[in-house]
Amino acid sequence: DAGVIQSPRHEVTEMGQEVTLRCKPISGHNSLFWYRQTMMRGLELLIYFNNNVPIDDSGMPEDRFSAKMPNASFSTLKIQPSEPRDSAVYFCASSLAGQSRSYEQYFGPGTRLTVT
Amino acid sequence: ILNVEQSPQSLHVQEGDSTNFTCSFPSSNFYALHWYRWETAKSPEALFVMTLNGDEKKKGRISATLNTKEGYSYLYIKGSQPEDSATYLCAFFTNAGKSTFGDGTTLTVKP
């Protein structure tokens, strides 16, 4: 398996522009997580999906952020409009949650977003 | 907000030294505790998943213990090697599936 795939790996955009980050989880995994990593706040959970349904989006910073998971193999995180303080590394992770009680997560390589 | 704390924040040891760090988490709504290893410029990789009070896990020179009643987990590295240099994260999971990561302990092993 190729692991969790994220695109783009790097994104530089101007303030006010829309940014869309993409994630393809590991095939067969039923949970997907979006994280943001910053120096100030470390690794923060933004939102997670279970069986394509958003379960907890309390970590989404504000209405400018939205996430979708239209099917089991694809998710997007959108920022509109983007602001310089959104600059961070955004990780997507997937796991096979369920009877094993193991939420062991497999992380993608991350997308480094810079908003100027 | 779930309070997950890791200590120390950073650690410098000599090759061959054994070391350990701590993860403290809430003792209520416990579901699982994970340890991840995060090397610079890479993504976090899972080391251990621990779900039961008293769990002990081992992988090579690295081991971990879990005390859910008092809300802590220890990670031990025996005979540290330079390739062990990384940030070690713990993540606390509630029974609702929500995860909170600690800020990590950054280990530097000097040859």
Lowest mean pLDDT among A56-60, A69-73, B6-10, B58-62: A56-60
Four-CA torsion A11, A17, A18, A24, nearest 10 degrees: 0
- Residue B46's alpha-carbon distances to A90, A114, B3, in angstroms, are 18, 27, 21
Lowest mean pLDDT among A8-17, A97-106, B16-25: A97-106
| A69: nearest Cα among A90, A85, A82, A53 | A53
| Range 29-88 of A in CB contact (< 8 A) with B | 31, 33, 35, 42-45, 48, 50, 55-56
Query: What mean pLDDT is reported for chain A?
Result: 91
Task: Tokens for B37, please give them.
Answer: 């290893």
pLDDT in tens, B77-96: 999 999 999 999 999 988 77
What confidence score (pLDDT) does residue A90 get?
A: 97
| Range 44-73 of B in CB contact (< 8 A) with A | 44-46, 49, 51
What confidence score (pLDDT) does residue B1 get?
A: 60
Pick the more confident residue, A39 or A102: A39
Instruction: Please indicate whether, in this complex, the C-beta atoms of A45 and B45 are within 8 angstroms of each other.
Output: no
What confidence score (pLDDT) does residue A102 get?
A: 64
Instruction: Please indicate whether, in this complex, the C-beta atoms of B43 and A103 are within 8 angstroms of each other.
Output: no
Mean pLDDT of A5-20: 97
Q: Which of B31, B93, B101 sits opposite A43 (nearest CB)?
A: B101
Q: Residue A47 above 80 pLDDT?
A: yes
Q: Residue A1 above 80 pLDDT?
A: no
Q: How many Cβ atoms are within 10 Å of A12's Cβ, its own excluded?
A: 12
| pLDDT band at residue A60 using 50, 70 and 90 as cut-offs | very high
Q: Residue B74 above 60 pLDDT?
A: yes
Q: Which of A42, A55, A106 sits opposite B103 (nearest CB)?
A: A42
DSSP label of B27: S
